[in-house]
Amino acid sequence: MAKQFELTEEMKAQIGRETPTWTYEVTTTSVRAFARGVGYTDPVYYDVEAAQKAGYRSLPAPPTYLGTPIYIPGQSNETFGEPKTLSIGVKSGLRNGLDGSTETEYFGDVCAGDILTAYNRLADLQVRESKTLGKMLIITIENIFKNQDGKLIAVRRAEFILY
């Protein structure tokens, strides 16, 4: 538990910092696998004809699924598959962490066949006090996704709590 913790000027200066981009593929197989994994049974996630009858170009990506990052040995995180370059890497000295929240704002459809390009942006850093955990650092990261036409397609905002 951190009794004393302050944001340093070095940490504050990183707000707004962006990572290099990375490519994510949305395939019919990955859409079907994600939909099956979370228990969706709507045929639009499995049958291209049903998806097209519903007005989609192809199988629509289920909510929160924004493709699979292209894995490159040595450059990608071994656990999550995203590139090591997408790490924001705020050095706080705090050892424990919690997932605070994740929300996704969509600006258009994501469908099988789309190739998305994404980067991360450090959106905010805040210090809050908890009765049980002491001082906590709340890190807000935005993942910005654009489609193959360069159109902004989604922004995922995630909060991480370090204590």
* Sequential pLDDT tens for the chain (163 residues): 566 788 989 899 999 999 999 999 999 999 999 999 999 999 999 999 999 999 999 999 999 999 999 998 988 888 877 777 767 777 888 888 999 999 999 999 999 999 999 999 999 999 999 888 888 999 999 999 999 999 999 999 999 999 9
pLDDT of 91 reads 80
Q: Give the CATH number for residue 141.
A: 3.10.129
Do residues 101 and 53 both lie within one domain? no
Residue 3: inside a domain, yes or no?
A: no
Residue 110 and residue 140 in one domain: yes
Provide the pLDDT for residue 3. Answer: 66
CB count within 10 Å of CB 103 equals 10
Centroid of chain to Cα 160: 12
What is d(CA 38, CA 66) in angstroms, rounded to the nearest whole number? Answer: 14
Whether residue 94 contacts residue 7, with contact meaning beta carbons closer than 8 Å, is answered with no
Show the domain range for 32.
28-61
For residue 146, tell me if it sits in a domain.
Answer: yes
CA–CA separation, 38 and 58 (whole Å): 19
pTM for this model (two decimals) = 0.87
Torsional class of 34: left (φ above 0), alpha (ψ -120 to 50), beta (otherwise): alpha
